[in-house]
Amino acid sequence: MLLSKLFFKLYALKSERMRKVILTLVSRFEGGQMHSETLRAIFSKYHNIEIGMYSYGGCFNLDHIRPFTKIGRYCSFAENVYVYNANHPFDRKSAHPFFYDPSLGYVGTEQILRRGIEIGNDVWVGQNVIILPSVTQIGDGAVIGAGTVVTKNVPDFAVVVGNPGRVIKYRFTEDTIQQLKQERWWDKDIDDLRENLDAFTHRYNVPFDNAKEPNTTGT
């Protein structure tokens, strides 16, 4: 505990080399990305990235995940996932970051709007997925296939593939989705779920092939 607090404070020194070492050590000492509370505290405090417990993988890549990103619990990220929160301003004389990014030393304040995105719980994001700034929400239980370019919000438990990404099916029936949303199993700690592992190790409820797709028209 004392060592974790020390690492958390040292991270404020803003040495890139030291920060990488600290992230590696914290993850190792606290049981890896899935379990480390200090790792999550560092991402929240210093990078404005919220990551729920037991989520792991590319969501901890600071080169690929932008600030104002909120990720739920039990999410699985491939390593090469990109989440963007802003576009270059193509309606101005120049789209170059010299003219909108204050960190480069030419403008005093941020000149573009950076949007936040909320990614739900138990979301699986495949290799080489790109999530564009037009996306503000990815629902609980969603699956984003490898190589997908996500351009709009994703419903709960939808399976999305392609460029641009499109919903090809849902993991469960509409009734089952509502049941899972009400149950909110992901709010429980993994030790509490040990008592009922059978629910997670077999096909759950009605197979999709025999199910009715949820209504996606909004009516």
Residue positions annotated with a catalytic role:
88
45 CB-side CA count, 13 A: 13
Which helix (H) or strand (E) segment holds residue 160: the answer is strand 158-161
Asked if residues 85 and 66 have their Cβ atoms less than 8 Å apart, the reply is: yes
Determine if the peptide bond prior to 89 is cis (ω within 30°): no
CA–CA distance, 167 with 51 (Å, rounded to integer) = 25
Residues 6+ apart with CB under 8 A from 137: 117, 118, 119, 120, 153, 154
Asked if residues 51 and 59 have their Cβ atoms less than 8 Å apart, the reply is: yes
Amino acid at 204: Y
